[in-house]
Amino acid sequence: MEEIGHYIDGARVAGTSGRFTEVFNPATGEVQARVALATKAEMDAAVAKAAEAQKGWAATNPQRRARVMMRFGQLINEHMDELAELVSREHGKTLPDGRGDVQRGLEVVEVCMGAPALLKGEFTDDGGPGIDLYSMRQPLGVVAGITPFNFPAMIPLWKMAPALACGNAMILKPSERCPSTSLRLAELIKEAGLPDGVLQVVNGDKEAVDAILDNETVQAVGFVGSTPIAQYIYGRAATNGKRAQCFGGAKNHMIIMPDADMDKAADALVGAGFGAAGERCMAISVAVPVGQEAADALVERLVPRIEKLKVGPYTAGDDVDFGPVITAAAKARIEGLVESGVAQGAKLVVDGRGFSLQGYENGFFVGPSYFDNVTPEMDIYREEIFGPVLSQVRADSYDDAVDLIMENAYGNGTAIYTADGDTARDFAHRVNVGMVGINFPIPVPLSYHTFGGWKKSAFGDLNQYGPDAFRFYTRTKTVTARWFSGIKEGGEFNFKAMD
């Protein structure tokens, strides 16, 4: 069986802890590899080597660092199919979703090709008599990224590309469920010209995470995962004097107004709710039609679309809409929440429980489920299901629908479908959510903007990628300078001229 280790000083190395965890093929339920789990000592050694390598990388001018990003982007494009295969093999998502995972990360790398422009400081001429002021952005040193299983390429690239472009060294701890993509990306960026040791990929569990959080050399931590863990990492990082940006869970709503194009809204909900088996922090998991007529029309359109969805392994190619979920435990949790929705009085319109695929009976497949008449007290509404389950909450009015979102604990993404510009504008301005879509179901910003939620979906002051990433991964130094004229008389310094 394949054993997956770490990437240290420009090469793959075996773990030394003797501890491993299993990497499954989600479609078959079989163990396909074992990944080593690093000890605190292994993590500390990786950090120390990264700190040494960072000195030379920080001294490399931004334009040369940007050239490494340019070549890295080219290599990602050249290896797109290989990387998508790695993503799909360990995560289970379809190959089109795997390619999309890589592509969205590549777009952040492309922005980082323009790092010199984003790293420019400010200058004030003659701020006082003969005094100039200027600021410069300098790297933090060693930073860390702790990334989740659901986007094995995209989120590691969101972390590593800006951090490295700014002149930092990075410790990347990917999800132990999907470790291979990050290791391959590390090899490709070395080929692009990144010096050995500047990027270290260390696999591990909580012991490795705590070692990152407690290591005094690590200056900043970026995390994506569940809200409880995001809160834990943010709190421990802050206690230890580190910068932290920690992104947690979500419960994303989409309002459907009576004047919306119902067919377009239904198509959007199917893609946003069930794509990637619902394992996306920006998935729409709650549909909120306004008025009984709109709600009934939505049910009429959604049911046949959902029932036509094809579930299967990524090896089936483009003929599959979504694949399995990540683990047997995830499958059991999702189906348990569906059971709770039925027990608590929601109407299960499409039942995905008990789904089985011939030849893949041991795979972690969950069929699509669709609930109507869900209320905010139910578990399926309150909890992030992270699976192919769409809940419909009927609202009597637009204000009731907005209040539902405003009162929710999460604030990652939201959307509205309407033909009325005034309603859309009011929604965008009023709603307390970080990313808003208008007739657009998954409002993930383009990579030259910035990604981040509000409320319990995010902890920290700065968001991922875009200009915020360059602020997060650098610190500002401001210089006040004065140069004296006429300080020499007869070859001697005139100290009075310096007063």
Q: Are strands 284-289 and 389-392 parallel, antiparallel or unpaired?
A: parallel
Any residues with CB less than 8 A from the CB of 89 and at least 6 apart, and which? 25, 32, 180, 314
Measured CA to CA, the distance from residue 242 to residue 5 in angstroms comes to: 27
Cβ(314)–Cβ(92) under 8 Å? yes
Cβ(144)–Cβ(160) under 8 Å? no
Cβ(358)–Cβ(324) under 8 Å? no
- For residue 183, what are its two tokens? 């290791």
**Among the options 112, 166, 178, 281, which is catalytic?**
281
Cβ(357)–Cβ(363) under 8 Å? yes
Cβ(177)–Cβ(326) under 8 Å? yes
Residue with token string 């709710």:
273
Give the closest residue to 194 by CA, choosing from 380, 300, 56: 56
To the query of whether residue 281 is one of the catalytic residues in this protein, the response is: yes
Measured CA to CA, the distance from residue 392 to residue 221 in angstroms comes to: 37
Q: Are strands 2-4 and 30-36 parallel, antiparallel or unpaired?
A: parallel
Cβ(409)–Cβ(438) under 8 Å? no
Q: Are strands 369-372 and 347-350 parallel, antiparallel or unpaired?
A: antiparallel
| Active-site residue list | 281
